[in-house]
Each structure stands twice: as C-alpha cells, then as structure tokens.
Amino acid sequence: MLRWIQCKLAILLLFATPAFASNGYIGTPDECYIVSKVDGNDVYLKAAGSCKGIPGRAYVDVSGNVRVFVDGAFWKEEETQSLSIPDLNVTLKKSQDLSKAIAVPDNQFKEEMDKAASNLNNLYRSPEFQGRITAEQERLKNELFSKQMADYYPDDKKEGSKKETAGNLSQDERIYLFISSSMPVNTIRNYIASIARYHDKNIIVVLRGFVEGMSKIGPTAQFVADAQKVNQQCSGANCERYNVNIVVDPLLYRRYAITNVPAVVYARGVNRSLPDESEGLPGTTVASNTTVYGDASLEYILDLIRRETGSKSLASLAVKR
C-alpha cells in the first residue's frame, strides 16, 4: 500500500500541470512550489505544504523561454530543460518523504460493515432462506428443465415403475461410494448398476475433484453421463440412464479421511445444519461411520458392513433391492 502511494505521488509530482504532455522542467524557489497554471509561456507557481528554503524543480508542458510567476508575482525568466535521471531520483525521493507524512485513515464504517456482513451471512444460512432457495430450484427444474430431465431419466415418469424416491435407508443414514475417474471403466459401471438396483437416494457416488481440473466442466459432465448409461453403446441425450446421484465433493473425502479408492463409507446419524450444502462441512454431525476399502462388489462390501454394525437398514436393503 505504501509503495503504491509513493508511486502515485511520483506521478503527481511529475505531472503537476493541467495537461499530461510535459516538455521539460523549470526551477522553483523552493521544493514546496508546484505549477498551478500555465498560460502560454507564463507559468504560475503556488506553495503546497511547508517550505524549507531548498530550491526545487517543476515540470511544465511548454518548451523554450518561459516567464515564471511565484504567488502571482513575476519571479524570473528561464529556459525549460529536458528530463534527466537525477531529476527522477529527486522526484522519487520527494514522493517517499511526502508518503511518510500521509496517514491513511481507518475505515469509520468498519464496525457497521462487519455487522451488516454478519447479518447477511446469517440470513443466507437461515433455514427459511435455504428453504426458499430449495423451492426455487425445484420450480426452475420443473418449469425450465422438465423436458431435459425426462430425456435423461425417462423411467421416472413411467407408471408402475419400480423406482422409488426413498429407499430402505433412514433419513439420517448414508452410503458413500468414493471413486476416481482413473479407475477401470467397467468397475465404475458395475458400481453404478449395483447402486441403481437399490433405488435409494441416500446412496451417493463421490468424486474428489473435477475430471481434468476445475477449469473444465465438460470432461466431468461427460464422465458422469457415460457412467450413468444403461447401454454403453448408446449415444446422445435420449440414452437410458441410471438414476444415481454422483457428486464432486472433496470435503467428504476430508471428513472420512479417504486415502484410496474405491472406498465405501456407511454413516449413521448424519445431520447437516443447512440443506443443499456439502455433508463434509464442519456443521454436519455424524454419529458413527464405517469405512471399507477394496475393489469388491458393492453387495459384498455392504454385507461386510452389515455384519460388523448389525444395521437393520442394510439387512433390509440387501433383501429388497
């Protein structure tokens, strides 16, 4: 900040005239004098700040012989001279000296701004506001993207469909399947097909980050679309797709300390403070969780977890899938 002020002062000292085109400089009776007006070849100087009796220079946008007036009175005639390196050094030194005397005032509205920011944050995170956001998202999905949703998930609106909006896991239970785009394609497809057979929205596939980095969303969208295809030979938007929830959430990786993939986490007592936010945020509480690593079938891994935890939900999930 101080360096920026010094540079600004140097610019002001170099171009202290009504115009920016400077052809040279003239002597002044003191460093405190600056150019206040140029009228043809008449240059008028005025004092700015305290004068210390040290001769100075001022830059003007005229060349040749000029008449110099100090505080309205004629002082002398002189020739303008071209700019030189020593003059730049002197100007920079003057700007540095002046910058030391400049005190940047504290923001008198800081307390009010902090309070307003806190109130806005509380409003955004309030259940009422988050509920409004959720309702608006649903409205936009139904009104603007209903056709696209029907194209990608055609089975959702078929009468007699076996798919359900909620499965056998309770509201506070989760099964997270942590995968990577670097895993074998067939392994990923098998996992997606297994999850689809459970018809449970609380079974979630989690990627650590975007495919090919955050600067490109296309590769990730393509990866998700391909992973959800029922028939991998199909192409286009009308292909039948598994209704499986796939998210990019590095916070979930951090919460459950996932170091390798594939990994399956069974969590109970999941309670997040705000809807539509990552369940990996510190505000989300989890009563217990169990993690299993290894490239095994999802059915086998969930059976291992069921035997270890005694979960009735997992037992029911295995029977009714």
All domains of the chain in start order, with CATH? 2-100 (no CATH), 166-320 (3.40.30.10)
**Does residue 179 sit in helix, strand or coil?**
strand
Residue 236 pLDDT > 80, yes or no? no
Instruction: Report the range of poorest mean pLDDT among 45-49, 99-103, 150-154, 313-317.
Output: 150-154
Whether the pTM exceeds 0.85: the reply is: no
pLDDT digits (tens, 9 = 90+) for 163-190: 434 458 998 999 999 999 999 988 999 9
| Model pLDDT, residue 159 | 42
Helix axes 185-198, 298-309, angle to 10 degrees: 60
* Residue 212 CB contacts under 8 Å (≥ 6 apart), including other chains: 219, 220
Helix axes 110-125, 127-144, angle to 10 degrees: 60
Contact 59, 52 (CB under 8 A): no
pLDDT digits (tens, 9 = 90+) for 32-48: 899 999 999 999 999 88
What's the average model confidence in pLDDT over 289-312? 93
The rounded distance, in Å, linking the Cα atoms of 19 and 295 is 74
Residue 112 pLDDT > 80, yes or no? yes
Identify each DSSP E strand in the chain by its residue range. 24-28, 33-39, 42-47, 56-60, 65-70, 73-79, 174-179, 203-207, 245-248, 263-268, 288-293
